[in-house]
Amino acid sequence: MVHTSPLDQAGTGDAGGMNIYVCEAAQNMAAMGVQVDIFTRRTNTEVADVVEVAPGVRVIQLNVGPVSGVTKEQLPKLIPDLSAAFKDALVNTRYDIIHSHYWISGKVAMPVAKDLNIPLVHTMHTMARVKNLNLAEGETPEPMIRVQGETQVVAAADALIANTDAEAASLVSLYEACPDNVLVVSPGVNLKVFTPGGGRAAAREVVGLDKDSHIISFVGRIQPHKGPEVLIRAIAELVSHSPHLRAKLITNIIGGASGANQSEVERLKELTTWLGIDDVVRFAPPVPREELPQWYRASDLVCVPSYSESFGLVALEAQACGTPVVATAVGGLRTAVADGISGVLVDGHDPRAWSSVLARLLLEPQRRVLLSMGAIEHASHFGWDATSRGTLDIYDRVLTARAEQAKNIG
Amino acid sequence: MVHTSPLDQAGTGDAGGMNIYVCEAAQNMAAMGVQVDIFTRRTNTEVADVVEVAPGVRVIQLNVGPVSGVTKEQLPKLIPDLSAAFKDALVNTRYDIIHSHYWISGKVAMPVAKDLNIPLVHTMHTMARVKNLNLAEGETPEPMIRVQGETQVVAAADALIANTDAEAASLVSLYEACPDNVLVVSPGVNLKVFTPGGGRAAAREVVGLDKDSHIISFVGRIQPHKGPEVLIRAIAELVSHSPHLRAKLITNIIGGASGANQSEVERLKELTTWLGIDDVVRFAPPVPREELPQWYRASDLVCVPSYSESFGLVALEAQACGTPVVATAVGGLRTAVADGISGVLVDGHDPRAWSSVLARLLLEPQRRVLLSMGAIEHASHFGWDATSRGTLDIYDRVLTARAEQAKNIG
């Protein structure tokens, strides 16, 4: 059960790393012989009720609420109807496990799991309390209804899957999760798709960028929480401190507007103009997944300046392509990036601090080569195989515990 | 120039990682053919004015102020006299570089470097602004005189050496350092002394601990900023949540009282009694350096719950001995520990979050084996050789820049 459709383009609207996570994990689990049905709310009239996206993986649309125009903020109102539709869809098939992703789906799945006596496994992906402790300037906090919903899901789930030890610790300390129910499974990256390929020069030819430029890229949804403004302001600092770098510098901001906030891209473009760095910052719409590796490969550095991140798939994808990552030292990014080995972690969001790290890396090509090798090595530890195997182990554990319970009661 | 004597025992008073850093780096540089004199204030009547601690490394005592009873807090008053004595000591020898460590020595060295026209290289080790942004509860902030002193030294130094990219970024963002003058050199660990040795079982026999126990250790000066209380409270959480672990659990708090705060050890002992965990927490005085590897090897986990840390040498030493480290995700600890690979980084200091991480690691021996291998591998990248070579490169750079300047003027 997932609230955004895995059929949507990632990097736009509400579709991001989680959608990729659900699709990849499902396909890998199916390859291991497990039948996976992904339930989601219909957001597209053109799609059939049931779509087989890969052998053993079906996406099933629940016809609840208006097809288009429902923002993530409006979804909670649809939860009771989604639960009812989800339960209807489940009664004719015997499912062993319900696995919900993100709190909205967790709330949808909770009563269904209880009514049908199916164990519930939940993955948070992001948490309101963590996010609200790390807001970008001017960003609206997540509402209390979400915090309450998350708390309920934490209490109801048979098992909680955290992406990292840090996220597991937050579940225990901020949501009073019982430590025994919290298990850690790292997300993965598709190591067949995200590879160093033909290298930087070849990739630059493909995407049409000069081979001698310094290229820094941001990839993700354009929202304050992802921190694109931090990068833009750091670039302004950089060209003011090191004007000699300006002629060779290109900064790509790749991604679409997010959720309700359609004006953020325009605001950032205006900011760029106002800072006088239009010549070095380029905005691009989200790139289809098959073209993304070339953009990572073409970049000298990929920046992930998020305010919080339960994992940060972009960081892993870039590293798998051999590109060092500069990321904020928060949450899952600390696991996704090996500080000083596969990239550099920066404390906080001060543009001067970011610019000094970027300048140093641009001026040290040898260090970038070392980091690039470290990046490939580090990313190689995160395959979806391991994620799927870890997830199946947890299903197994939950089912065994249920069987034990039943035996003790019987 | 260093404010505490490299001849002192580390882990007590004001002597910690920095003293080890200065000694090890000096010995390695001397082995590379550079003559090193370490100037320090006399704090011991029994020591000769000049002590050759290793071939090519001399420790020279400056007789300024009372030999004993001067706390770090009282040192700033002695700065003018120390500068005068330092200058007197320097006039008869032609030194190429003055390298000061910690702000007090930086302030002592500043006027001398200027008067004698010797380039000044400075290493901060810790910074008041960073520390004050991350205070432990009830901890007294570092005074403004230190912040001002640090700012002066940052402005005056020809080069600033940071331990990590994070520290370099802090120098730029919090102290307005010019990014071009900030250079990064990782500290090291003596990889000949800190090794996995004969393994855990053998080490436990040496230190007299049971081979079947779960052993968690803290090593360092006992002061709130190092966070021993976080570990003690986490242990209380742990035994309350997982009472079955209690009988096998031993927590070692190894270290002496720090600086002016002699009562902290007593306070923590009382806290331990009050929390009812006297049976699982053991306090031990600082261990001589030659015995330390056995304590690291004997431990299942070493905890570094510091509130801030410019590097965290203990984390590196433990890993070099094959012991995974659980550390706070701050500053240099993020470089010293590869999250999920050589140990686990925890956000913040919540005892429940810490206890859940510790419990999970204690209950997953296989994961600890993987982390242990990762720890040895990660630590192997940090030898003092690399530190010394990096430092000498910076001296060279500074001297070249000075020579260029002289040429342009002349």
Please report residues of B whose CB lies closer than 8 A to that of A352: 172-173
| B63's tokens | 């007789």
| B357 to A182: CB separation less than 8 angstroms, yes or no | no
Residue B12: inside a domain, yes or no?
no
Check residue A259 and give its pLDDT. 64
In terms of domains, do A108 and A213 share one?
A: no
pLDDT tens over chain B, length 410 residues: 666 666 665 555 556 678 888 888 999 999 999 999 999 998 888 888 999 989 999 999 999 989 888 887 888 999 999 999 999 999 888 899 999 999 999 999 999 999 999 999 999 999 999 999 999 888 889 999 999 999 999 999 999 999 998 899 999 999 999 988 999 999 999 999 999 999 999 999 999 999 999 999 999 989 999 999 999 999 999 999 889 999 999 999 999 887 656 789 999 999 999 999 999 999 998 888 889 999 999 999 999 999 999 888 999 999 999 999 999 998 899 999 999 899 999 988 999 999 999 999 998 899 999 999 999 999 999 999 899 999 999 999 999 998 888 888 76
Phi/psi for B93 (5° steps) reads -120, 145
Letter string b/e over residues A288-316, b meaning 16 or more CB atoms within 10 A of that residue's CB: eeeebbbbbbbbbbbbbbbbbbbbbbbbb
The reply to whether A42 falls in a domain is yes
Q: Are residues B214 and B135 in the same domain?
A: no
Is A11 inside a domain boundary? no
Q: Indicate whether B8 belongs to any domain.
A: no
Residue A19, pLDDT score: 83
Q: Which two tokens stand for residue B27?
A: 């010995």
Strands (E), B277-369: 281-284, 301-304, 325-328, 343-346
Regarding whether A216 and A86 lie in a shared domain, the answer is: no
Statement to judge: residues B321 and B173 lie in one domain? no
Do B225 and B325 lie in one domain? The reply is: yes
Asked if residue B392 and residue B374 are part of one domain, the reply reads no
Domain hosting residue B121, numbered range: 17-188+384-409
Q: Report the gap between the CA of B80 and the closest CA in chain A (Å).
A: 33
Tell me the Ramachandran region of residue A227: left when phi exceeds 0, alpha when psi lies from -120 to 50, beta otherwise.
left
Express each pLDDT in A252-300 by its tens digit.
Answer: 999 988 765 678 999 999 999 999 999 999 999 888 888 999 999 999 9
pLDDT exceeds 80 at position A229: yes
- Give a yes or no: residue B9 inside a domain: no
In chain B, residues with a C-beta closer than 8 Å to the C-beta of A334 are 329, 334, 339, 345
Question: Strands of B325-328's sheet, edge to edge?
Answer: B281-284, B249-254, B214-219, B301-304, B325-328, B343-346
**B138 and B226 belong to one structural domain:** no
* Contact between B331 and A347 using a beta-carbon 8 Å cutoff: yes
HEC string of A2-69 equals ECCCCCCCCCECCECHHHHHHHHHHHHHHHCCCCEEEEEECCCCCCCCEEEEECCEEEEEECCCCCCC
Q: Is B333 on the interface with A (CB under 8 A)?
A: no
The answer as to whether B193 is a domain residue is: no
Mean pLDDT score, A375-383 = 94
- What's residue B410's pLDDT? 60
Residues B208 and B287 in one domain: yes
Same domain, B119 and B235: no
The verdict on residue A269 lying in a domain is yes
On whether the CB atoms of residues B14 and B371 are closer than 8 A, the answer is no
Is the torsion defined by CA of A292, A293, A295, A299 positive or negative? positive
- H or E segment at A407? helix A384-409
Out of B166, B179, B184, whose CB is closest to A241? B179
What is the domain count for chain B?
2
A408 confidence band (pLDDT: 50, 70, 90): confident
Q: Which of A117-126, A195-204, A399-408 bottoms out in mean pLDDT, i.e. has the lowest?
A: A399-408
Residues in contact with A336: Cβ distance below 8 Å, sequence separation at least 6, in sequence order: A309, A311, A312, A313, A315, A316, A319, A325, A327, A382
Q: Looking at the structure, tell me whether residues A350 and A296 fall in a common domain.
A: yes
Binary contact (B381, A341; C-beta < 8 A) = yes
The residues in A 165-224 lying below 8 A from B, measured between CB atoms, are: 165-166, 168-170, 172-173, 179, 182, 184, 186
The interface pTM score, or ipTM, of the predicted complex is 0.76
Q: Does one domain contain both A177 and A240? A: no
Alpha-carbon distance A165 to B37, whole Å? 45
Measured between CB atoms, does B81 come within 8 Å of chain A? Answer: no
Give the nearest partner residue to B345 out of A334, A344, A348, using CB atoms: A334
Is residue B83, in this structure, part of any structural domain at all?
yes
Q: Is residue B250 a contact partner of residue B335, using CB atoms and an 8 Å limit?
A: no
Q: How many angstroms separate the CA of residue B112 from the nearest CA in chain A? A: 30
The reply to whether B110 and B49 lie within a common domain is: yes
The domain that contains B212 carries what CATH number? 3.40.50.2000
